[in-house]
Structure 1
Amino acid sequence: MKAQFMKSGENVSKEQLEKLGVDSWILDADRWEEEGKLDQICKQRGYNYKDEVDSRKMPDLRSKLDNFLVEHIHDDEEIRFILEGGGYFDVRDAKSNSDDWIRITVEKGDMIVLPPGIYHRFLPDDNMFFHVMRLFQGEPVWTPHNRSELTDQRKARLEYVKKYVEAN
């Protein structure tokens, strides 16, 4: 997994991402069941539901990209384990007065967890192919809240700002 400021191309360390609340692991995407690392993470973090999304099976993928590219937050963590293919998660740099994007490149074997309330977006790589496992705590919910003044007042966003922006 590689992360860079989009504007400058400067590398962003795993420690810098962790200060934004972004967690990540590298797993064996071909042998994840035998490896057992995913099961350990799920137990530690309370993930009890998973499903898969394969872009090859998505009708009208190109039209859905418009939705993926809209900056949004979720009230719960967004967890993705890349089984095949790849893409980019863009997250806002909490320390930047200019509201810079950090681009996180994800590829096969990468697992990423975005905290509730972080502004982000996703786009596939140039191959337009991603096969991911989505994980959830409790009932699976994937409701995006597009960036707005109202979204800035959501509980998840306020808690994110307090924990990761104001605390650092």
Structure 2
Amino acid sequence: MRINESKAWYMDSSDEDQRKPHRLIPNQPVFLDELKRLGVFYWKLNADIYETDPELERIRKDHGYSYMDIITIHKDTLPNYEEKLKMFFDEHLHLDDEIRYILDGQAYFDVRDKEDRWIRIAMNKGDLITLPAGIYHRFTLDETNYTKAMRLFVGEPVWKAYNRPADDFDVRQKYVASLQGS
């Protein structure tokens, strides 16, 4: 499936509210093939049937996503809401892939490209994304201030984020080396 220009774009450098789109003027879209070269994969699923969706089950089986939970990010449902949003938006990496499936609402994932520029990926209901271990990224809500997401993991969940700079981790070095051929 192809991400169109309304789903991913290069970001401006404004310090304005992180929940705004932050598109460059003129817009510089990013398409799915560019994200794939960064190790970012995307699927569009039917979130209304996530509990019984055979496509989601196939993806989980094919990739070994054995653990799943659901998080609702909204000021009325998430303890320490403002603190957590700030933490999610700090640029970081993980030692494992990050897999998120938006069941309701909207949000953004920002990832760094090979030249260290930010790419913003708009996530809506039905979007499933995987970010590879070692990629610098961050997460924020959009201006609706609400999303409900499924979190998937291979094996037990790992919640530890390593804020930038984290270039000394083997997983970061392997990730950077994987970009050399793309």
* Paired-residue identity, %: 45
The root-mean-square deviation of aligned C-alpha atoms, in Å, is 1.1
Aligned residue for 2:169? 154
Specify the code of the residue in structure 1 equivalent to 2:120: R
Kindly indicate whether structure 1 or structure 2 has the higher relative contact order, using CA contacts under 8 Å at least 6 residues apart: 1
Alignment of 1:1-168 (within 5 A): 2-7=7-12, 8=24, 9-56=27-74, 57-94=77-114, 96=115, 99-148=116-165, 151-164=166-179, 166-168=180-182
Q: TM-score, normalised by structure 2?
A: 0.86
Mapped partners of 1:17, 1:34: distance in 2 = 28
CA distance in 1, matches of 2:87, 2:81: 10
Q: Distance in 2 between matches of 1:70 and 1:126?
A: 18
Residue 36 of structure 1 aligns to which amino acid in structure 2? P
CA offset at residue 79 of structure 1? 0.3
Moved more, 137-146 or 57-66: 57-66
Q: SS of 2:167's equivalent?
A: helix
TM-score, reference length from structure 1: 0.93
What is the number of residues matched between the two proteins?
162
How far residue 113 of structure 1 moved from its aligned partner, in angstroms, is 0.2
Q: In structure 2, how many angstroms separate the alpha carbons of the residues matched to 1:155 and 1:127?
A: 37
Structure 1 unaligned regions, length at least 5: none
| C-alpha deviation, 1:109, in angstroms | 0.3
Partner deviation per Cα, 1:63-92 (whole Å, 9 max, x = no partner): 221101100000000000000111110000
- Opposite residue 123 of structure 1, the aligned amino acid is T
